[in-house]
Structure 1
Amino acid sequence: SIISQSQRTNSNALIIYKDGNIAYENYFNNAVQKIEAMSATKSVVAIGIGILLDKGFIDSLNQPVYTIHPEWKQGNKKFITIRHLLEHTSGLQNVPNAGDEVEIAPDVIQLALCAELDDKPGTRYSYNNKSSNLLAGIIEKTAKLKMDAFLDKYLFKDLGIKNFSWRKDEKGNPYGMAGLQIYPKDFAKIGLLILDNGNWNGKQLISAAWIKEMLKPSPNNQNYGYEWWLTYENMYYSFDDELINAIKNETDETTFQLIAKLKGRYKGMKDLREFAQKIYSPEELKLVGKIMQKVQPSQMKTVNDGEILNYTASGYLGQYLIIVPKSKTVVVRMITSDNFKKIPNNSTMENLRKLVNEL
């Protein structure tokens, strides 16, 4: 069950709301504290963009970014829209691991603005920390408030979220890719707000139209809306030729031939790992493992089937805010890096998105 697994994986908090009421709250003998939401922060940033739109700070999602940052009025960058940033289809050059490039940059807005283009805007989904950071910059440029102050004014105050903090770069820009440090119970309020179509205690904080738009599957990745993950009844990861060929540049011919054996469909990374353990010798597994560490689930194509069961904000180490409309359930599971280090197998509870559907 969710509860036993949360306990087993050293969670700092598990909060479950049913029908708007708290059904379960456990901190597993840990202090009640603010915890970094990691990449689940991105989903909160998307709500911020919705508020910008609702309040008329931006005209539409099809507004080119150069209308806000004129230095992009050149080459293919002039075609990048706010929608592209939300869908991760901007085409901006990107390193998936934020620690390698973004975390060390003194000014993440400038880093994003100066990035090369790897793809033509709007053509390909590629999970991108730079584009999420630029969304924070767009909020600031258009609303004349730093993003954390903007969200405090237009969202958190009404939700009764009084105590939160936000990690920033040296220049003082709040990160859009991560950085929100929040109490788990406060994080759940964001889920409750979405479950109630943007309404909080009778006050419409975000338009219902935005909630619907934000949670729609994107054309280039049916698994993703605007910074929210979508969980379908049946989901498979596809380890296809495109991914195998992308790995080719990272490795030698022997390892490449081994990796090519993984071509197929998998129910999740666990399924893929189990298959790899069956077909490889321990030595081969070591070789393949080194390369596979670089493969993120977000790089694998997903094949979806059936209805959308839940919407998820998810972050590094296993931070989750999950909304299950059918059963009117909101689940938050959070963990600190200290607690994560104590887990023997470093489980990020990636099956949580399936488990919540049983509640």
Structure 2
Amino acid sequence: MRGEASRSLANPTLIVSVPLTPSWVPLESPVSRRALFLPLCALLACAHTQPTSPPQTPASVVISPEATAAMTRAWMAQNDGDAAKGHAELRQVWDAGHQFEEVARGAADMAAASGDTVMAMTWLERALDKGLSNPGGLLHAEALAPLRTLPGYDALVVRARKNALEARRTWGVGAGLERSSPKEAGLSEPALEDLLKAAEKSGSAGLVLLRHGKLVGEWYFGGETHRIEAMSATKGMVALAIGLLIDEGKIPSVDTPVSAFFPEWKDGLKGKVTLKHLLNHTSGLASKRTAFDIYESKDFVRYALDSEVVDEPGSKHAYNNKATNLIAGIVERASGEKMDVYLARKLFTPLGIRDFRWDKDPSGNPVGMAGLQLHPVDFAKVGQMLLQGGTWQGKRILSASYIQALGGAPSQPHTPTAGLLWWLIYEEGMSVTLGTDALEQARRNGFPEAPLARLREIADRPIPQGAFFATFVEKLGDASLLTAFMEKSAPHNFKQHVEGPPSGFAAIGQGGQRVLVLPKYDLVAVRMSDSDGRVPEDVLEFSEFTGKVLGLVRPAPAAPTAR
């Protein structure tokens, strides 16, 4: 490794902003020059840097329902190939007074995609005025590529970096963590170097390691710390809300029926659904593999309530976004507060976490299935609290018994890795099998024969979990076919196999979002990405992450002896 990255191992308290320069990038290339220049420029306040004000808004800014609805419509229009329509949606809501950073940032992408680079630059200026603090995204986001050669673009990146540094100071991001070096933490430095290289190669925006309760390091690969969308790792925080309410006595237990909060669910199969069924994806609630139908609804909680329960609750495991959105409504009924407000008071504030946002549906419900934006190092604090059995700085936050329930053992008999919206980590023997039944189901539903023929080469053969996703996508031939395959092969899909007890648990989201808690090794690791198109989706998932983290603390396998 070179430059700042190599210094980080010797001085692990340094927060690394400069990317690890890949071996294929010459040191004199424009890529490496820009990466090395911008952090220095921010520190020295270069002459071309435009003045910017520190963020003035509270950390938990509530984005208006009108802005949320417009962003959803814009995203769906862009997904349909009409970026100009999406841009018009965002411009209209902005002009109506709903002037949020997220609106401006999304409008910049859509203006650029529509070919209006001048307007895209204007939108970025507006986003920066509202506190945009992700210089790495400006450097790497695929949608902004047409802007990077324009005059003044580098100055925008510098402004974003200054915003990020100011926001960290203002909101105390990561406050309360002592620091240690990799050597003091007992981490393998060669394994750490390997992890960092792999993290950058996979398009990571942030990586954080805690060992023995101390911060070993933060790495941001050309950017700075900023709030990152946790995707489905949000579900892990939703599970904590239920545990906190049980600890308060506001919910009797996870076996409490949903009808205790929504009496309209007292009859039929709905009357059998408990909180535990919602938390372990066995509710039987009708759900699709994608979330487009959910985003089209105006009230995600009501949409879940009005859906049918189509399978006997507890009879099978089926990943369910609707069920998690319903939990947001249950938290509100039990606590008297919106879920994000409740978690801010009961979880984030005690941990010193002040800079977060939570997406809302058009009716103002915090989204349960995704939508929490948090700094990686603050996510690591949540993981550390869980690793410590629910305590933080000597104070009890969450009961140890609930943490054991969510991450200590399988929560149902169908999927060995499913806890309560957290996923169990097995150190040895984790494998995944693509069954012939899934391929036949996909064939019956019209999935193309050519990729099915390639997938049959790996059918009914256990593949180590760390290698499965890459192997599957390689045989599929096109990562864009993944969603269609999951839809058409349901409910069969993949089968998991494990050996031995779990070593830890993780909150996991699309794009390789990970909050990894390993009590056996007294280790917490967080990896997050911005899903900005800098690498292909299958690379972004960083499926080797858990194995490489374990490599930090486990001895390397002995070399084979000559015979």
Same fold per TM (> 0.5)? yes
Q: What residue in structure 2 maps to residue 59 of structure 1? A: 252
Return the match for 2:485 from 280, 294, 298: 294
CA contact (8 A) 2:281 2:323 kept: yes
* C-alpha distance in 1 between matches for 2:217 and 2:238: 27
Q: What residue in structure 2 maps to residue 244 of structure 1? A: 439
**Does the C-alpha gap of structure 1 residues 69 and 328 become closer, same or farther in structure 2, counting only changes over 3 Å?**
same
- Which residues in structure 2 correspond to 1:40-189 (within 5 Å)? 40-98=233-291, 100-189=292-381
Query: Are residue 225 (structure 1) and residue 419 (structure 2) matched?
Result: yes
* C-alpha distance in 2 between matches for 1:330 and 1:269: 19
Return the match for 2:405 from 213, 220, 228: 213
- Deviation digits for residues 150-171 of structure 1 (CA, Å, limit 9, x no counterpart): 0011111100001111001000
**Does the C-alpha gap of structure 1 residues 74 and 256 become closer, same or farther in structure 2, counting only changes over 3 Å?**
farther
**Does the C-alpha gap of structure 1 residues 127 and 21 become closer, same or farther in structure 2, counting only changes over 3 Å?**
same
* C-alpha distance in 2 between matches for 1:287 and 1:336: 22
Q: TM-score of the superposition, structure 2-length normalised?
A: 0.59
Which structure carries more relative contact order (alpha carbon 8 Å, separation 6+)? 1
**Does the C-alpha gap of structure 1 residues 72 and 176 become closer, same or farther in structure 2, counting only changes over 3 Å?**
same
* C-alpha distance in 2 between matches for 1:197 and 1:50: 13
Q: Secondary structure at the match of 2:326?
A: helix
Q: Which moved more, 1:180-189 or 1:252-261?
A: 252-261
CA contact (8 A) 1:244 1:260 kept: yes
Q: Which has the higher strand share?
A: 1
Q: Secondary structure at the match of 1:307?
A: coil
Q: Which moved more, 1:235-244 or 1:292-301?
A: 292-301
1:42: how far off? 0.3
Identity value in percent: 35
- Deviation digits for residues 27-61 of structure 1 (CA, Å, limit 9, x no counterpart): 11213211111100001111110001110111121
Q: Which has the higher helix share?
A: 2
CA contact (8 A) 2:210 2:523 kept: yes
Partner AA of 2:289 in structure 1: P
Q: Which runs of 5+ in 1 are unaligned?
A: none
Q: Which moved more, 1:259-268 or 1:161-170?
A: 259-268
Query: Are residue 267 (structure 1) and residue 464 (structure 2) matched?
Result: yes
Q: What residue in structure 2 maps to residue 334 of structure 1? A: 528
Q: Secondary structure at the match of 2:445?
A: coil
CA contact (8 A) 2:466 2:547 kept: no
Q: Secondary structure at the match of 1:12?
A: strand
Partner AA of 1:235 in structure 2: M
Q: What residue in structure 1 maps to residue 515 of structure 2? A: 321
1:177: how far off? 0.6
Q: What residue in structure 2 maps to residue 310 of structure 1? A: 504
Q: TM-score of the superposition, structure 1-length normalised?
A: 0.91
Return the match for 1:354 from 531, 537, 547: 547
* C-alpha distance in 2 between matches for 1:36 and 1:48: 19
Partner AA of 1:16 in structure 2: L
- Deviation digits for residues 286-334 of structure 1 (CA, Å, limit 9, x no counterpart): 5998367533999411011123123111111111110111221111111
CA contact (8 A) 2:434 2:493 kept: no
* C-alpha distance in 2 between matches for 1:275 and 1:336: 23
* C-alpha distance in 2 between matches for 1:287 and 1:5: 22
* C-alpha distance in 2 between matches for 1:9 and 1:226: 28
Partner AA of 1:263 in structure 2: A
Aligned residues: 350
1:272: how far off? 6.5
CA contact (8 A) 1:38 1:177 kept: yes
1:104: how far off? 2.3
* C-alpha distance in 1 between matches for 2:483 and 2:326: 29
1:270: how far off? 4.0
- Deviation digits for residues 56-99 of structure 1 (CA, Å, limit 9, x no counterpart): 1111211110111111112211100000000100001111222x
Q: What residue in structure 2 maps to residue 33 of structure 1? A: 226
1:260: how far off? 4.5
Q: Secondary structure at the match of 2:313?
A: coil
**Does the C-alpha gap of structure 1 residues 125 and 346 become closer, same or farther in structure 2, counting only changes over 3 Å?**
closer
Partner AA of 2:258 in structure 1: V
* C-alpha distance in 2 between matches for 1:204 and 1:38: 27
**Does the C-alpha gap of structure 1 residues 246 and 22 become closer, same or farther in structure 2, counting only changes over 3 Å?**
same
CA contact (8 A) 2:479 2:537 kept: no
CA contact (8 A) 1:251 1:291 kept: no
Q: What residue in structure 1 maps to residue 430 of structure 2? A: 235
